[in-house]
């Protein structure tokens, strides 16, 4: 059963009342889908397939009120404000509460008989651009969600409920109505300890992400080394938030993650991701903090079959094609000239380099050369954790400690799921590359803002020799001329100040100033920028520059695993 248009209108009406000035701009009334080569039924399943994230019992999430008590926390207006895609959701067995795209409810067989709420790939990897009231869904695109805001708000809501007896009584009644066992609600809620606990992560510095960013890799390291191992001093500040990257063609890239630290071993990557997304792990005994015996130590809530299925599904996903009926026609002559400029200036780094097995080699360009914000790459390569509980050193880099946990967890999943050897991925080895990868840019027009940290609002700005120092980040209204979101503030948008470390918009410069760090080419004339932009609108699998390559290029800086620490050490005179 689809909620369809009626729910769209209801949600829209509620927002108009509550959100005032921003409501109209942020509430699309028409929805357009682009064919991205996956049929709607498969997409719906993909949007709500449980990966193993364990937030709270689903009935609790359905029942909990916002901290201010004004409405249910999961109401469409609150979730729309946080950037979730609340319109046109399908209500069915997989999404019984009609939550936004990307939320999940576990099969109770996997969670002790109680359905548990979580989220999945689509929450962070589905975009939407809006233009004059029409919304275009971008499957596998960049989400514009404020996940830290969601988690903080949710914990505040539970804490407020724990403090107020009349709210608690309402919460219990509603949770029971939503299916929670009557005889357990009181004791289970008390055992959860909301009255005592601070929201996780609140003691760590967290650079304001706004909608559309998350320091995911540090989040995974904190979850595993600080929370799961119960060594709180391992927690590190979340100061390098990144855009949610786009997922089409990702399975064929020779290196993934912004800094290319992983070969395309999807199960290993997704194990790390689920751990960081509030998957349950049992590395240590929660009472004593001592390492648990095997096999319990490596058993997790990760749903192996589901993550493998989602990964396979994503192999069919095509880049979106420019929706000319919404955003205006492409000037084909200009695009053809743009392609020539692209081949001359960009394809060396961004062109397809097809390997003999059909996969695409991607270059990781060193920080020294590209000059963009170093945080994501240096945090990953340079920070260390006390992993002595795992028999490793007290100064273990994430790329060494996570290898061990991820490989052991993957093998345990194979053992527990009787996975045939032929279907098993080999052990993964994480790298510590010294820069960021340059991937092919088919469909990139649909994924603003740009650079790994979302610090550049439009493609036009990225190709210019000056860029706005501040802009409003978080709105979804599209600018089809410059390719990006407009500078209009949306609900819950932030002013992204690029002078703050982590937000730097430097690098990837096209400038005549040959001494500027991060210069990759000469100043581009406006007409040339617009021609390249026209090509990026038109780029598809047939016209995109492509060459053959015999074997993948090595990552740079592989000979020196300590490059990040050495780089931040005082320079020898």
Report the interface residues with ligand HEC, using CB under 6 A: 51, 119-121, 123-125, 147, 214, 216-217, 242, 244-245, 247, 250, 256-258, 270, 273, 277, 307, 310-311, 314, 345-346, 348-350, 365, 370, 372, 376, 436, 438, 441, 444, 447, 450-452, 459, 462-463, 508, 520, 532
Pair type for strands 213-214 and 126-131: unpaired
Between 270 and 419, whose beta carbon lies closer to ligand HEC?
A: 270
Q: How far is the CB of 253 from ligand HEC (least distance, A)?
A: 7
Take residue 224 and report the two structure tokens written for it.
């595993």
In angstroms, give the least distance from the CB of 215 to ligand HEC.
8
Strands 509-510 and 519-521, how do they pair? parallel
190 or 305, CB closer to ligand HEC? 305
For the sheet containing 30-33, what is the strand order? Answer: 30-33, 134-139, 126-131
Shortest distance, CB of residue 491 to ligand HEC, whole angstroms? 21
CB-CB neighbours of 297 under 10 Å: 18
For CA atoms 71, 72, 76, 81, give the dihedral sign: positive
Nearest distance from residue 501's CB to ligand HEC, in Å? 14
Dmax (CA) of the chain = 72
Residue placing its CB nearer to ligand HEC in the complex, 163 or 516 = 516
Q: Report the distance separating Cα 136 and Cα 244, nearest Å.
A: 17
Distances (CA, A) of 396 to 215, 225, 275, 381, 389: 20, 10, 18, 11, 11
Closest CA to 231 of 375, 401, 377, 51: 401
Nearer CB in complex with ligand HEC: 78/277: 277
**Residue 357, both tokens:** 């097995």
Provide, rounded to whole angstroms, the least separation between the CB of residue 69 and ligand HEC: 28
| Beta carbons within 10 angstroms of residue 514's beta carbon | 7
> Least distance (Å) from ligand HEC to the CB of residue 196?
26
Residue closer to ligand HEC, measured from CB, 28 or 484: 484
Q: Provide the minimum distance between the beta carbon of 4 and ligand HEC in the complex, in angstroms, as a whole number.
A: 26
DSSP secondary structure string for all residues of 211-271: TTEE-HHHHHHIIIIIIITT-GGG---B---EE----TTGGGBSSBSTT--B-S-HHHHHH
Closest distance to ligand HEC from the beta carbon of 388 (Å): 27
Nearer to ligand HEC by Cβ, of 125 and 318: the residue is: 125
Give the nearest distance from C-beta 2 to ligand HEC in angstroms. 24
For residues 542 and 546, give the distance between their C-alpha atoms in angstroms, rounded to a whole number: 9
Output phi, psi for 297, to 5 deg: -50, -40
> In the complex, what is the shortest distance from the CB of residue 551 to ligand HEC, in angstroms, rounded to a whole number?
20
* Residue number with CB closer to ligand HEC (385 or 535): 535
**Residue nearer to ligand HEC on the CB measure, 65 or 431:** 431
Q: Which is nearer to ligand HEC, 488 or 528 (CB)?
A: 528
| Residue at token pair 């046109």 | 88
| Percentages (nearest 5) of helix, strand, coil residues in the chain | 40, 15, 45
231 vs 310 by CB, closer to ligand HEC = 310
């Amino acid at each position: 059963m689809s909620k369809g248009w009626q729910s769209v209108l209801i949600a829209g009406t509620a927002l108009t009342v509550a959100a005032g000035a921003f409501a109209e701009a942020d509430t699309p009334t028409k929805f357009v889908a682009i064919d991205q080569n996956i049929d709607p039924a498969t997409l719906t399943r993909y949007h709500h397939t449980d990966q193993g994230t364990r937030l709270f019992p689903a009935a609790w999430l359905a029942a909990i009120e916002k901290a201010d008590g004004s409405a249910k926390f999961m109401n469409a207006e609150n979730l729309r404000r946080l950037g979730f895609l609340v319109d046109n959701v399908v209500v069915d067995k997989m999404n019984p509460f009609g939550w936004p795209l990307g939320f999940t409810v576990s099969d109770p067989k996997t969670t002790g008989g109680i359905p548990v709420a979580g989220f999945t790939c689509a929450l962070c990897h589905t975009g939407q651009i809006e233009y004059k009231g029409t919304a275009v869904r971008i499957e596998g695109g960049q989400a514009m969600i404020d996940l830290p805001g969601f988690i903080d708000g949710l914990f505040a809501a539970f804490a407020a409920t724990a403090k107020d007896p009349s709210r608690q009584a309402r919460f219990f009644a509603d949770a029971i109505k939503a299916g929670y066992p009557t005889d357990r609600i009181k004791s289970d809620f008390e055992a959860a300890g909301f009255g005592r606990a601070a929201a996780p992560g609140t003691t760590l510095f967290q650079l304001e992400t706004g909608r559309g960013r998350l320091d995911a890799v540090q989040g995974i390291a904190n979850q595993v080394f600080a929370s799961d191992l119960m060594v709180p001093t391992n927690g590190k500040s979340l100061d390098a938030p990144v855009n949610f990257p786009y997922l089409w063609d990702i399975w064929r890239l020779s290196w993934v993650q912004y800094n290319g630290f992983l070969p395309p071993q999807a199960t290993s990557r997704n194990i790390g991701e689920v751990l960081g997304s509030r998957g349950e792990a049992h590395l240590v005994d929660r009472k004593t903090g001592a390492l648990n015996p095997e096999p319990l130590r490596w058993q997790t809530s990760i749903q192996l079959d589901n993550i493998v299925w989602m990964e396979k599904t994503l192999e069919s996903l095509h880049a979106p094609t420019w929706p000319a009926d919404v955003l205006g026609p492409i000037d084909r002559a200009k695009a053809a000239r743009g392609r020539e400029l692209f081949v001359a200036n960009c394809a060396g780094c961004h062109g397809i380099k097809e390997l003999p097995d059909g996969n695409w080699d991607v270059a990781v360009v060193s920080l020294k050369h590209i000059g963009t914000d170093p945080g994501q790459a240096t945090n990953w390569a340079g920070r260390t954790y006390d992993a002595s509980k795992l028999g490793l050193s007290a100064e273990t880099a994430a790329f060494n400690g996570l290898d061990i946990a991820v490989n052991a967890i993957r093998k345990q999943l194979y053992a527990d799921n009787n996975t045939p050897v032929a279907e098993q991925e080999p052990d993964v080895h994480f790298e510590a590359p010294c820069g960021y990868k340059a991937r092919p840019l088919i469909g990139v027009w649909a994924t603003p803002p740009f650079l790994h940290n979302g610090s550049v609002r439009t493609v036009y700005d990225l190709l210019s020799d000056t860029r706005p120092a501040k802009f409003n980040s978080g709105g979804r209204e599209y600018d089809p001329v410059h390719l990006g979101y407009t500078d209009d503030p949306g609900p819950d948008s932030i002013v992204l100040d690029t002078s703050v470390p982590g937000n730097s918009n430097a690098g990837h410069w096209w400038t005549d100033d040959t001494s500027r760090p991060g210069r990759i080419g000469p100043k581009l004339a406006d007409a040339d920028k617009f021609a390249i932009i026209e090509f990026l609108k038109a780029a598809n699998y047939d016209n995109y520059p492509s060459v053959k390559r015999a074997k993948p290029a090595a990552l740079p800086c592989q000979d020196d695993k300590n490059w990040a620490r050495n780089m931040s050490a005082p320079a020898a005179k």
